[in-house]
A = this chain, B = another copy of it.
């Protein structure tokens, strides 16, 4: 037996193509386009790479992306002023502040200043709370991407036991939030475990769908997986590899080679959950734009 590979590149490309058609249709009807403001503070090289790929995805879909770069020296006051300006800008339907912010900036304070109606990252407590309550609100992009991947591959979720390793605010908790709700593609039994969990192997082996989101390379090994389970690897870890040009390679939280023969399906790293995150950001931005149109 060998696991089906869940291809996030294919699914995200398909989704972006659908969104591009949709945005074109909206443009023909309204002469308006969605707009995403991308705010980068400082010069973290990894953040720059993320920002570039988000802008590229916007271009593909027909979203105007507006670039804002602040230096660390501009200080939090300048960032606050910018966000207040963007909150009031009718051409901006989504505001993305690339995290983490440099030292001296309060990430949470900044997130809470973004108008929840433009918080396409789904990090504002208003959206986090509404999604957890089963109400409408922007879902965080990475867990939303996991949801879409499962849906696309028609992996049964309703009534199944989803075990999530990791309780972060970016993946573990918001994924539980999405999958436990009533509704199509959800309705799962959800377990969250973490570094303090006793009997971890018994827990993970009880999973129909096992999600690894801990940030430890190769943490999930074959004996932690019930044969036939679906394994979703949300980890993105750089490990040294002198055989590569960059000197590192990217691996997930799952010991891929040992788990592949046991699982029924698995997301590889890279090329699994990763590409979905940006696609869902784009989807949220288009959704925000449509709400804006509906209110006009």
For A135, give its contact among B108, B130, B158, B181 (CB under 8 Å).
B108
Contacts of A176 in B (CB 8 A): 176, 192
Instruction: Write the nearest CB–CB distance from A195 to chain B, whole angstroms.
Output: 9
Whether the pair B203, A189 counts as a contact (CB closer than 8 A) is yes
Knowing A125-B126, A173-B133 touch, does A192 contact B193 (C-beta < 8 A)?
no
Query: Which chain B residue lies CB-closest to A191?
Result: B191
This protein's copies in its complex: 2
Shortest Cβ distance from residue A148 to the other chain B in the assembled complex, whole angstroms:
20
B180 touches A189 (CB 8 A): no
Known pairs A132-B177, A192-B189; A159 contacts B125 (CB<8 A): no
Contact check, B128 vs A159: say whether CB atoms are below 8 A apart.
no
Tally of A interface residues using CB under 8 Å:
38
A42 within 8 A of B: no
Whether, in the assembled complex, A134 has its beta carbon less than 8 Å from a beta carbon of chain B, the answer is yes
Assess whether A245 is interfacial by the CB under 8 Å rule.
Answer: no
Is A169 an interface position by the 8 A CB rule? yes
Contact of A30 with B by CB under 8 A: no
Look across to chain B and name the residue whose beta carbon is closest to the beta carbon of A181: B167
**Chain A positions 106 through 119: 1 when the CB is less than 8 Å from some CB of chain B, otherwise 0:** 00100000000000
Let me know if B130 and A125 touch, CB within 8 A.
yes
Nearest residue (CB) in B for A203 is B189
Q: List 7 A-B contacts (CB under 8 A).
A: A125-B126, A125-B129, A128-B132, A132-B132, A133-B173, A189-B191, A189-B197
Residues of A at the B interface (CB closer than 8 Å) are 108, 124-130, 132-135, 137, 158-161, 167, 169, 173, 176-177, 180-181, 187, 189-194, 196-199, 202-203, 206
